[in-house]
Amino acid sequence: WSQGEGEIKRLEAPAMEFGPQVPAHWKDGGGPPCRPSSPSTSSSSESSEVDPAERRRRMRAERLRLNQQRRETMSELREYQWYQSAWSQGEARLEAAKVRTQTEEQRGWAEDLEREANVRYEQAETAAERLLEAMAKADLYGSEEAAESWAAHEKAWEGFEASMEVAEPLRYEDVPWPPATSGLLSVMAA
């Protein structure tokens, strides 16, 4: 058994194939269906018959076709990139508008809450002032009713003093007498 015979036997042995299998019609020389057959796959008898000028013409035509295809692909790619960029910019603008709207709404809500708090504070302050006035009057005069009657007396007394400038005879009914003073001195003394 010589070395040459071993090589022949190795070539004749069926090869174990791993991975995806090549379709049978490709093995027969058909090639993948999407690729056109190229002049390099033609037989040697055909290549000797092809004129070198014809071969250059075919190669030039193929280069032109490939360049045209490349330009079209690049144009489509640029158009796709433009649309993708415009889409991204539009989404960014929408997101910015959304954030701006949410911020304005939150600011408006905060202002409304602050206004409501200010109104409540003013109402509470006014109520506290009235309460303090009523308590002061009650402390001074003994009760709120007594304080109101003394306030009415003060107004009447001011009117009486203004009418005194006119020289008319003074009658007992014209004098604004103070309200009942029972218990007033005891409250003032305390």
- 28 vs 19, 23, 45, 184, CA distance in Å? 20, 9, 19, 130
Residue type, 93: R
**What pLDDT digit, counting tens, does each position of 109-147 carry?**
999 999 999 999 999 999 989 888 877 777 776 777 777
Structure tokens at 115: 């206004």
Q: Cα 65 from chain centroid?
A: 50
Q: Determine the Cα–Cα distance for residues 6 and 3; give it in Å rounded to an integer.
A: 5
User: 1 pLDDT band (50/70/90 cuts)?
Assistant: very low
Collapsing DSSP states into helix, strand and coil, what is residue 137?
helix
Q: Determine the Cα–Cα distance for residues 54 and 60; give it in Å rounded to an integer.
A: 10
- 49 vs 7, 54, 58, CA distance in Å? 36, 10, 14
Q: What is the pTM of this model?
A: 0.34
Query: Is 176 in contact with 156 (CB distance < 8 Å)?
Result: yes
